[in-house]
Structure 1
Amino acid sequence: MEANLIILAGGASTRMNASLNSSASNWKNKALIGIDSDGRPILDYLITNAEKAGYKNLIIVTGENAIEFKSFYGKQQNDNLFGTLKISYATQYVPKDRVKPLGTADALLQALQQYSYLKKTTFIVCNADNLYSVEAFEALIQTPFKNAFIAYDRKGLNFSTDRISKFALVQLDQDQFLSNIIEKPEPNEISKCRDTSGSLRVSMNIFKLDGSAIISYLENCPMNPERNEKELPSAILNMCHEIPKAMKGILFHEHVPDLTSKEDIAVLKHYLDTAQNKKNS
């Protein structure tokens, strides 16, 4: 496949900036907040992992003001160089009747509208605030399935019990294809979510998608009634309900560092320091 990667970074970073007590004029996209002693952001590490995995084309979906991103990754709208990667930007415009962006399904839809070649090929799409491994990126390049996602073993995620309990669980059929996503499973529903190995699986929002297959589901994605946004997992699940065995689950057991609040900055720094120490030993 062509190694295309779309990183969704157009969110308002509301929770992060609130935890940092930032004033509205000083709000910063959390993907660009420095997390190490050199001030490198999580997005830098994420892009580096994608480059190591063999990706060549990267589109960063930003809000309407992309100045911060362009100061890091190049001022051209298209084909800025980052090592062997070409970085371009797509803009997630906010509807006139809203203050915040319309959600991740809308972000991806706007990227496909601005780069129409994506409607005819496969690509990987992920969040900007999760640090996915080189191995996860490689697995999605190498899979023969046009639509796939990393199905993480919940036991491998090194988060607090309270935080993990809030993650949606995915249900896979006996062939490891996605059949359902349960947002807030009741205790009696949890056992139904175990896969054939007995593990509970979660999605950390890293997907391989076929543009021609997903486009109509992005266009017709329903609004989440609680968050008032159009969410990419909803569009994917609607596709899976209409097309049997549409989305293959790739089983992984590893941690995925996440940047949600200011407490996560120190956790991420420790994670990176530990990984560097292991590499040097």
Structure 2
Amino acid sequence: SALVDAGIERAVLVVGPEHEDFRRHIDSLDLTRLTIDLAVQVNPLGTADAVLSAEAAVGEECFLMVNGDNYYPRQVLRDLARHRGNALAGFDRAALVAESNIPAERIAAFAIVRARDGALEEIVEKPTAEVVRAAGAHAPVSMNAFRFTPEIFAACRRIAPSPRGELEIVDAVRALPGPVWVLAATGGVLDLSRREDIREVEARLSGTEVSL
């Protein structure tokens, strides 16, 4: 619903081979503003592989890539959707700590984004405590909210598996031929990656109108 409010008219959900429950749920919805399609990731080989799994469905269109278990501020999604070229949202770390349901110690381990004149210089993954302190309380943090052109698919094919054996979207972003713009983002991100997150996220979204 937040994506639709940001101007997105079609969603492609990347799912595993056993996705019958997803399909049944989507078929039960009364969709008036959004089309939902599924793309199958045959094996869980990483986030860049997940993007490649959606290539046939996306084609030559530009698109947003967001985590399925995160709820992002509508304005951040609007800014990404309206941007031209490849971009990522750089979330203010202090705002994330204050407004998210994610503990501060977990946020401290998230990737820090370094930019110059608005263009990405580096994504520092798993920063040390010293790097976090040096970056400051308002350092931009990546929450895997991207705007991609179709160039990303070739970049995903150019990269090698990471040390943990996965094709990582961060490595694909580094392999893009042109600039990647960092869009300043404020507000919190609600995380649903664990079952114990459900109760608090439900409470925070209890007054949110959903319209698909």
Smaller-chain TM-score range? 0.7 to 0.9
Residue 46 of structure 2 aligns with which residue? Answer: 103
Letter in 2 for 1:255: G
Residue 73 of structure 1 aligns with which residue? Answer: 26
How many residues are paired up? 204
Please say if residues 214 and 235 of structure 1, whose CA atoms lie closer than 8 Å, have aligned partners that are also in contact: yes
- TM-score, normalized by length of structure 1? 0.67
Identical amino acids, percent of aligned pairs: 28
Residue 163 of structure 1 aligns with which residue? Answer: 106
Q: Shift in Å at residue 191 of structure 1?
A: 5.4
Rate the CA distance shift 1:272–1:70 in 2: closer, same or farther, 3 A: same
**Deviations 1:17-73, CA, capped at 9 Å, x for gaps:** xxxxxxxxxxxxxxxxxxxxxxxxxxxxxxx11122221111111111220111111
The structure with more radius of gyration? 1
Residue 155 of structure 2 aligns with which residue? Answer: 217
Pairwise mapping of residues 82-121 of structure 1 onto structure 2 (< 5 A)?
82-94=31-43, 101-112=44-55, 114-115=56-57, 118=59, 120-121=60-61
Residue 72 of structure 2 aligns with which residue? Answer: 132
- CA RMSD in angstroms comes to 2.1
Work out the CA distance in 2 between the residues paired with 1:191 and 1:150: 21
Moved over 6 A (4+): none
The answer to whether 1:201 aligns with 2:123 is: no
Provide structure 1 residue ranges, at least 5 long, that are not aligned to the other structure. Answer: 1-47, 95-100
Provide structure 2 residue ranges, at least 5 long, that are not aligned to the other structure. Answer: none
**Deviations 1:122-180, CA, capped at 9 Å, x for gaps:** 1111111001122122111212x21111110011113322111211111111x121111
Work out the CA distance in 1 between the residues paired with 2:81 and 2:193: 27
Letter in 2 for 1:263: E
Please say if residues 169 and 200 of structure 1, whose CA atoms lie closer than 8 Å, have aligned partners that are also in contact: yes
Work out the CA distance in 1 between the residues paired with 2:8 and 2:157: 27
Work out the CA distance in 1 between the residues paired with 2:126 and 2:42: 30
Letter in 2 for 1:150: A
Letter in 2 for 1:215: F
Indicate the structure whose relative CO is greater, using CA pairs within 8 Å and at least 6 residues apart.
Answer: 2
Letter in 1 for 2:169: L
Letter in 2 for 1:271: R
Higher strand share: 2
**Matched position secondary structure for 2:2:** helix
